[in-house]
Structure 1
């Protein structure tokens, strides 16, 4: 250590006595001297800006805005004061907005309008997320079906940085030790191994990034959503987003492609000649869209029972009906069966007294189903249906592949799956996935990946049954709604695979994060110390 210290001191002495160091020092002194003798420095030092006419008018304008929108102003101040020291204060917030307008207006004069709007949206998003980190989660919930994966991942990283800045500035951190987290980490570790040992590591790395983004959102939700108001707002954003998707799907069904342009694998024209189209909207595939609605509709239904205001109840009811209509127009047999199962699980978990209500709603709903939907559902076990036949071929081919790769799989992602699948395929079509979640996990990550996933599902439903006994109606309803959504998704996943698609993959992990939040809120309401497995003060 003494020799190393002598060497460092010698190097510093040589640098300080060198000509280069002296020239740099003289240059810095000259620059600082010019700045201190300049007009701008004296203007700032004399506080001329604070006394100027423009400054006073700007403060007057922002004051008028706050008078016109008192609730918004109060909410902004509340976020800054409640979320810990070191965050942006109210006056700085308005100056920041003004600066954003100027910074985006200047380049708008030199570049096209779309690029200028993109820059403005990006800068405004950064400003709002760093001012109110929770807004990143709400924005992600709203934009999830519509934005690209790169934008969604970037928003997640930005929100994580904003949350980290809050913590560094002195914000409160509540450690979470839920029993669900260990299976999440085990499954994630298996995915890492499957990516490294993949037959196509580069392609697997890209698809692995979807899981990384999803887990980032999961941990952000666990740490940032710390009360039922924030949780309701997050789930409300998911419901509003679903309303926009449903409206787009209905429009897509009536004004989209014709039957001639419809994908041949989506419907058998001989068995279902009356089906002229299937809604797909921004998901580009009716089965993926159906999986999305299976996850979202039960949550929206549980929110109807949770919210207090009649207006919000009618709004959520309208969203649920709109989404249900769009689900029917997908003509997805797995999606429709999954939805019915999801609502049945919701009713069973909420309590036996809700089962008659479920059966009554199911009977009434069946009367309103078009005959084309009923005919479509009746072909689910028809071995003459082309889509049924090709699924059986895919499953047989995948099982043959699993026999050779059962231990570690071929690697994460659809590209790695296709790279090996063509050797085993029974027909001439190379499929991107196995059309079965459980076979896909076996083929990608081997027996360890499937075991880790099943362990995760076991721990989740262990939490579900623990929350059934909660004394809080809010937690009971959301617990039942999300449990139903997950159950419907898992049933539909027997016939399809949607986790490869980033919109469904991220949403699925967001709901897992919501479960941990429910567990945390339930323990907090009981005055317990939350440790996930057995909160202290509970079960004694």
Structure 2
């Protein structure tokens, strides 16, 4: 029973060999063999991904949707014409389960047409995930895609720092107007919202930190170090409390994984004390930073101000209304997407507290797909981290450079989940595409137990 929960020992790579449906696809495979373009399809898919992640902060949502649609269509074409073999992972199974629950929630939604819009958006993101999980099995493709994302994040961060130096017009009331920080500049760069910018930069900090160890030669390493510093400073200057929570969580996870990765070289004494020493040092640094920087201290303390802070009070009122919605739709929710939410939420909202989302990813998933949807999502996250951890231990024995990308993906997911406790910025395509990039990156490392032999993963 436990093996079916964790998918240990389940031969997913052999499924298509005995699938009746796959046998009917013979004409597609013969067509692919005669095609001059499809042998390069993985690199075409990488080109679509490079374009998407390079343009994400600058272009409109419809254009990003077109690129995601192209990614999903290419994946479907490749899958229909594939020979039986690898590609299916436990993460794929749970992703499809999550989509199935959302589809059922749409079918049973009290606002079906609105929920269908949300399901379409989710499907576009999953199409991107499916293509990336295939393309990123090549280490060179991983390196190129992460490089483009980091260069884009660097440009976004530089513009954000420029806003901090020269000032930026607040596009909304982002700080409690009664606090001493009411006139403080909160940067938002090209994304138009400081919380969204923080959500976009949390994975960038993780990947740029990992790049210091992955990229060869000193000049690229110096570039990675600069990227890490610039994106970190920009994230902090967003003054996004949720972003800070995500940053701290991601940093803790990444450093813990790196120390565990290096512990193969430690003496028995250091193996015992390395992680406690790391946790103690990081805690001390955070306390000193909060106590030493007045703006940081005030912003952090506002987290614990309860309803005395206007942002906290707003979220608490929204969460109370969302809990009432969940109580009335506990099993499969109201259906996915902000359109469905916007039609049902006004029936439950507290006076003067209008909202476009639940301001918590976990509450949002629960209100969209009920407790069944939340359970499937948590199962997906658990399986992803389990698969990532298992593959990381295999790479650790070789001290492979590609292991650092895997650590960054796991840490980035942890940071986004921590940020998601108090915000829902990752439903915006600039951030949601990063979540599915990290999911796909972890899935791309998967190897069936029968294929656990030294491979191209050691390449950087």
TM-score, normalised relative to structure 2: 0.79
Residues 1:502 and 2:429 aligned together:
yes
SS at structure 2 position matched to 1:469: helix
Matches of 1:527 and 1:469 in 2, distance apart? Answer: 13
Matches of 2:84 and 2:134 in 1, distance apart? Answer: 7
Matches of 2:449 and 2:401 in 1, distance apart? Answer: 10
Deviation at 1:253, TM superposition (A): 3.6
- Does the 8 Å contact 2:205/2:231 carry over to 1? yes
Tell me which residue corresponds to 1:387: 311
Deviation at 1:387, TM superposition (A): 0.8
Tell me which residue corresponds to 2:185: 277
Matches of 1:374 and 1:137 in 2, distance apart? Answer: 40
484, 489, 492: which one aligns with 2:416: 489
- Does the 8 Å contact 2:210/2:405 carry over to 1? yes
Tell me which residue corresponds to 1:87: 36
- In the superposition, relative to structure 1, how do residues 137 and 87 fare at CA in structure 2: closer, same or farther (>3 Å)? farther
- Does the 8 Å contact 2:45/2:131 carry over to 1? no
SS at structure 2 position matched to 1:526: coil
- Does the 8 Å contact 1:129/1:135 carry over to 2? no
Deviation at 1:133, TM superposition (A): 3.8
- In the superposition, relative to structure 1, how do residues 390 and 165 fare at CA in structure 2: closer, same or farther (>3 Å)? closer
Tell me which residue corresponds to 1:516: 443
Return structure 1 stretches of 4+ with deviation > 6 angstroms: 128-131, 163-168, 170-173
393, 399, 405: which one aligns with 1:478: 405
297, 322, 328: which one aligns with 1:398: 322
366, 376, 379: which one aligns with 2:299: 376
- In the superposition, relative to structure 1, how do residues 404 and 156 fare at CA in structure 2: closer, same or farther (>3 Å)? closer
Deviation at 1:458, TM superposition (A): 0.9
- In the superposition, relative to structure 1, how do residues 203 and 177 fare at CA in structure 2: closer, same or farther (>3 Å)? same
Tell me which residue corresponds to 1:143: 55
- In the superposition, relative to structure 1, how do residues 247 and 385 fare at CA in structure 2: closer, same or farther (>3 Å)? same
Alignment of 1:151-170 (within 5 A): 151-159=63-71
Matches of 1:153 and 1:280 in 2, distance apart? Answer: 22
Matches of 2:215 and 2:33 in 1, distance apart? Answer: 28
- Does the 8 Å contact 1:393/1:427 carry over to 2? no
- In the superposition, relative to structure 1, how do residues 174 and 320 fare at CA in structure 2: closer, same or farther (>3 Å)? farther
CA RMSD of aligned residues (A): 3.1
Residues 1:349 and 2:249 aligned together:
no
Matches of 1:221 and 1:524 in 2, distance apart? Answer: 21
- Does the 8 Å contact 1:210/1:506 carry over to 2? no
Residues 1:301 and 2:209 aligned together:
yes
Deviation at 1:460, TM superposition (A): 1.0
Matches of 2:367 and 2:64 in 1, distance apart? Answer: 28
Bigger RCO of structures 1 and 2 (CA < 8 A, at least 6 apart) = 2
Deviation at 1:328, TM superposition (A): 0.9
Number of residue pairs aligned between Structure 1 and Structure 2:
405
Matches of 1:262 and 1:88 in 2, distance apart? Answer: 47
Matches of 1:177 and 1:270 in 2, distance apart? Answer: 54
Matches of 2:154 and 2:282 in 1, distance apart? Answer: 21
140, 163, 178: which one aligns with 1:252: 163
Matches of 1:245 and 1:173 in 2, distance apart? Answer: 42
SS at structure 2 position matched to 1:279: coil
- In the superposition, relative to structure 1, how do residues 245 and 202 fare at CA in structure 2: closer, same or farther (>3 Å)? farther
Matches of 2:76 and 2:103 in 1, distance apart? Answer: 25
Alignment of 1:391-430 (within 5 A): 391-430=315-354
Tell me which residue corresponds to 1:241: 152
310, 332, 335: which one aligns with 2:240: 332
Residues 1:461 and 2:385 aligned together:
yes
Matches of 2:389 and 2:101 in 1, distance apart? Answer: 27
Matches of 2:327 and 2:253 in 1, distance apart? Answer: 34
Deviation at 1:221, TM superposition (A): 1.4
Residues 1:444 and 2:368 aligned together:
yes
Deviation at 1:514, TM superposition (A): 0.6
Q: Based on CA coordinates, which of the two structures has the bigger radius of gyration?
A: 1
Report Cα offsets for 1:437-494 as digits up to 9, x if no partner.
1111111111111111011011011113212312243243222211111111111111
- In the superposition, relative to structure 1, how do residues 518 and 359 fare at CA in structure 2: closer, same or farther (>3 Å)? farther
Matches of 1:220 and 1:154 in 2, distance apart? Answer: 14
Tell me which residue corresponds to 2:223: 315
Deviation at 1:376, TM superposition (A): 0.5
Matches of 1:456 and 1:364 in 2, distance apart? Answer: 33
SS at structure 1 position matched to 2:179: coil
- In the superposition, relative to structure 1, how do residues 236 and 334 fare at CA in structure 2: closer, same or farther (>3 Å)? same
Residues 1:218 and 2:129 aligned together:
yes
- In the superposition, relative to structure 1, how do residues 303 and 151 fare at CA in structure 2: closer, same or farther (>3 Å)? same
- Gaps of at least 5 residues in structure 2 are 1-31, 264-273, 456-460
Report Cα offsets for 1:353-373 as digits up to 9, x if no partner.
675567657756755974212
- In the superposition, relative to structure 1, how do residues 132 and 454 fare at CA in structure 2: closer, same or farther (>3 Å)? closer
- Does the 8 Å contact 2:317/2:353 carry over to 1? no
- Does the 8 Å contact 2:153/2:231 carry over to 1? yes
Matches of 1:307 and 1:346 in 2, distance apart? Answer: 17
